[in-house]
Amino acid sequence: MALLEIKNLHARVGDKEILKGLSLTIEPGTVHAIMGPNGSGKSTLSNVIAGHPAYEVTAGEICFKGKNLLDMRTDERANEGVFLGFQYPVEIPGVSYAAFLKQALISKKKYFGEKPLDPVQFIKRLKVRAQALGISDDMLKRPVNVGFSGGEKKRLETLQMGFLEPDFCILDEMDSGLDIDALRVVGQGVSIMREPHRSFLLITHYQRLLDYIVPDVIHIMVDGRIVDTGDKSLALKLEEKGYADYK
């Protein structure tokens, strides 16, 4: 069974249709990349999968592990294993990063009826994971995403993903704003998470991220649809020729 199956998805914001019949199948254990011009609907697709209330699905279906994803609330989707690494992580003043992560784990355990989180274990695990991504203890005490640099925000998104252990990770421009070293750190942070049951959907504009996380499949998205699908050589071709052939 496919991990994620999207069929003929149409979605809009207000009166504006953004996804115009998109289909995509992702098998467990695979890495897919989506590339496409600005405004083609890549972030919209991620938001629709995660359940953002501003986007209305007008036709089509999304099946996740055989269940109808569109019937689930955003928090249910997350607990079922969908993770969205945001292109623009949201700032939450007054809520510390550590408290936020802790609540996310508490919620997950509650969802599965598991016994509550051990706070000492939690802090230990958090520190180890954070260190591997070059995130200091001080950063974890600060409010969620407030005042962090672009690169720091992306590292922190990667940290959350590692912690929540989702089955399906959408990484929306995880590489934007990263310097070369940070790109390697984040790339490795993602690579070590590859598992036979876990799949990735990488949204990116550049080949460079795909050097660290080599995709099995690359899709080209233009104007709300997938217009081409191929192997990793497609990214190299794009790097050379741009999107001219698809317009």
Ligand X SMILES: Nc1ncnc2c1ncn2[C@@H]1O[C@H](COP(=O)(O)OP(=O)(O)OP(=O)(O)O)[C@@H](O)[C@H]1O
Which of another protein, ligand X, Mg ion, none is residue 34 near (CB under 5 to 8 Å by kind)?
none
Alpha-carbon span 69 to 56, nearest angstrom: 14
- We find the least distance from the C-beta atom of residue 191 to another protein, in angstroms, to be 22
Q: Which does 40 bind (CB under 5 to 8 A by kind): Mg ion, ligand X, another protein, none?
A: ligand X
Cβ 111 to ligand X, closest distance in Å? Answer: 28
221 with 41: CB under 8 angstroms? yes
**Which two structure tokens, joined as six digits, stand for 28?**
């467990």
Residues with Cβ < 8 Å from 107, sequence gap 6 or more?
75, 79
User: Which of another protein, ligand X, Mg ion, none binds 38 (CB below 5-8 Å, type-dependent)?
Assistant: ligand X
Contacting residue, 8, 23, 39, 124, with ligand X by CB under 6 A: 39
Query: What minimum distance in Å lies between the beta carbon of 93 and another protein?
Result: 6
Give whichever of 42 and 219 is closer to ligand X, judged by the CB atom: 42
Binding residue for ligand X (CB under 6 A) from 3, 24, 26, 41?
41
Q: How far apart are CA 8 and CA 183, in angstroms?
A: 34
How far is 182 from 222, CA to CA, in rounded Å? 29
CB 234 within 8 A of CB 218: yes
Shortest spacing between CB 126 and another protein, in angstroms: 14
Least separation, in Å, of the C-beta of 235 and another protein? 27
Closest residue to Mg ion, Cβ-based?
43
Q: Which stretch binds ligand X (CB under 6 A): 1-9, 22-30, 32-40, 136-144?
A: 32-40
**40 scored as a contact of ligand X (CB under 6 A):** yes
**Strand 92-96 versus strand 143-144 pairing type:** antiparallel
Contacts of residue 98, defined as CB under 8 A and 6 or more positions apart, other chains included, come to 123, 126, 140, 141
Phi, psi of 3 (to 5 degrees): -75, -45
Chain residues in the site for Mg ion (CB under 5 A)? 42-43, 87
Chain residues in the site for ligand X (CB under 6 A)? 13, 18, 36, 38-44, 54, 87
